[in-house]
Structure 1
Amino acid sequence: MTAYGIIGTGHMGSMLAEEFIRRGAINREELWVSNRSQEKAQKLARKLGVRAADNLKVAERSDVLFLCVRPVDLKGVIAETSELLTPEKLIVSVAVDFSLRQLESLCRARAARAIPSVASGKGLGVTLLVLGSGASEDDRSLVFRLFGSIGWPVEVAEEQLEVLSDLTSSGPAYISAILREFALEASMRGAGVDKDLAEQLIKKTLIGTAALLEDESFDDLIAMVATRGGITEEGAKVIEALSPEMFRQLFSATSAKHRLVKDRIGNVEE
């Protein structure tokens, strides 16, 4: 029986524990959890029927260990448990900006990176995966099975993670921010449209649009709605004209933040 551990039971760690258990990817008796606040880990353990312990015991008992702590805390967690992270174990880090090279330089375990999305809590999230040089085909199959239970795992090149995580991990926030402004503007047009009603209508429209996009490309769906010479076409032209600059600024801002996080993490070889 494979034993699994999760160090860090914040939002992401708790979500992974709950969804892996709920969807049958991991059995309750196979999972150990720990957290800086042991009370929080104990609470999650009672809720899910799994076992809670400190970091050292979780690392010792686990064959596959998920590291769900902040990037700036990851080096310390690995340093604490490094003697237990042997080549027989697989560690899976969900921390952005902490590279495989850094992970592999700090311990002897096989390593992988996984960047899930909050949508994984609904079984509909994309998880970006990068596997280290020491990871085996069995490791690849295992992480694809686990993250496949909560959405769509996609293996990518590590250098693509920053840009792609803006689309997947950060995407739900960006999409929500755009649609919030859409609803707010609709409510301010002077026709007595209630903001909450506008928000609910956009949410329902988004669900239907997502279903259509299972079969259609963006361009094809735009063409289906924005008929030539029609009202929707005028609105689509405005978006096409103004949004490129907004998204250029978005990627510039997130890229700058990535650099700041990497600077805070520091060079593990220092």
Structure 2
Amino acid sequence: MKVAFIGTGSMGSLLIEAFLRSGALHPHFICASNRSLQKAELLAKRHPGLRVTGSNAEAANGSQIVFLCVKPLDYPAVIQELAGVLDERQIVVSITSPVQIRMLEARIPSKVAKIIPSITHSALSGASLCIYGSRIQPEDRLLLEQLMSSISVPVAIRETETRIASDIASCGPAFIAFILQQWAEAAARHTGIGRAEAIVLGAEMLHGTGKLLTEGGFSPEELQRRVAVPGGVTAEGIAVLHSSLEHVFAGLIETTHRKYDEDLSKLDDLFGRRLLNGTADDEPD
């Protein structure tokens, strides 16, 4: 199975490396393209047999799956470049949340899916968010989820849930890392513990907590009950968190959704509203 990756920036490279590390893909069956060919060539040096090209169309031509790993506002130009080489048998996978499936299905004949990855896939873990277009058949979905299960836990969602699900699964590692950083720095300021030591303890705690929630059969509420004895230290700490964080996550969600809506508006303009309404964008006004 030939798989193309259009764009080898941060997430494109991460996906390629993860698929190769898991054994799900072999370098000889990967073709990668990038605007800066040097970035793609670095991947080829690390993984002999991986083919690189400066042409997105060349990479996509003949590939069973084409991952689009470019910035949202670059999609219209990339899709225009690929439209002439893609066919109805290929599966095109967008990895960015604001690019809507309808936008792609209106411009290319291929089957379209959207899969939102996470940096956690570099550790062969975390959830990948899977959304499927109208042309995706059950066997296509099975193929994609088998591939993603080699580096993650595929979770099928509705496209309307993309932003909030991405906040948790994709943005979440950065949010949690920020909280851990703040916690460690406060611990270092107010006690004798070193910042690095506090981060190690926190990282191991997060690793173990994740296992309890995914493999240990605990719900968040059950885990709190097991640790927070009434009247104890943990219960007092949770009371502080409850009062301090009551509005934080609502504000976080409001902010990420506002930025998402702005990106959607920009993409609607770039792709052309007439095309999205079912008319060709080269029709006369």
Q: 1:234 aligns with which of 236, 243, 249?
A: 236
Give me the whole-angstrom Cα distance separating, in 2, the residues matched to 1:81 and 1:71. 16
Unaligned runs of 5+ in 2: 274-285
The TM-score, its normalising length taken from structure 1, stands at 0.96
| Residue in 2 that maps onto 1:204 | 204
Give me the whole-angstrom Cα distance separating, in 1, the residues matched to 2:174 and 2:20. 26
- Percent sequence identity is 34
Letter in 2 for 1:68: C
| Residue in 2 that maps onto 1:176 | 177
Instruction: Report how far residue 244 of structure 1 moved.
Output: 2.5
Instruction: Report how far residue 48 of structure 1 moved.
Output: 1.6
Instruction: Report how far residue 21 of structure 1 moved.
Output: 1.7
Moved more, 33-42 or 18-27: 18-27
Give me the whole-angstrom Cα distance separating, in 1, the residues matched to 2:233 and 2:96. 45
Letter in 1 for 2:236: E
User: What's the secondary structure of 1:61's corresponding residue?
Assistant: coil
Give me the whole-angstrom Cα distance separating, in 2, the residues matched to 1:205 and 1:111. 39
| Residue in 2 that maps onto 1:118 | 119
Asked if residue 134 in structure 1 is aligned to residue 135 in structure 2, the reply is yes
Q: 1:269 aligns with which of 258, 272, 278?
A: 272
Q: 2:222 aligns with which of 215, 220, 223?
A: 220
| Residue in 2 that maps onto 1:33 | 32
RMSD: 1.2
Give me the whole-angstrom Cα distance separating, in 1, the residues matched to 2:89 and 2:210. 42
User: What's the secondary structure of 2:83's corresponding residue?
Assistant: helix
Contact 1:162 1:255 in 2 (8 A): yes
Instruction: Report how far residue 241 of structure 1 moved.
Output: 2.2
Give me the whole-angstrom Cα distance separating, in 2, the residues matched to 1:199 and 1:24. 32
Where do 1:58-97 residues align within 5 Å?
A: 58-97=59-98
Letter in 2 for 1:246: V
- Runs of 4 or more above 6 Å deviation: none
Contact 1:114 1:130 in 2 (8 A): yes
| Residue in 1 that maps onto 2:7 | 8
Letter in 1 for 2:138: E
Instruction: Report how far residue 220 of structure 1 moved.
Output: 1.0
Unaligned runs of 5+ in 1: none
User: What's the secondary structure of 1:266's corresponding residue?
Assistant: helix
Give me the whole-angstrom Cα distance separating, in 1, the residues matched to 2:36 and 2:117. 23
Moved more, 124-133 or 37-46: 37-46
User: What's the secondary structure of 1:111's corresponding residue?
Assistant: strand
Letter in 2 for 1:265: L
Aligned residues: 268
Contact 1:18 1:48 in 2 (8 A): no
1:127-169 C-alpha deviation (Å, 9 max, x unpaired) = 0000100011111011101110001001110100100110100
Asked if residue 195 in structure 1 is aligned to residue 195 in structure 2, the reply is yes
1:19-64 C-alpha deviation (Å, 9 max, x unpaired) = 1122121222211000010111122122122111121111113121
| Residue in 1 that maps onto 2:280 | none
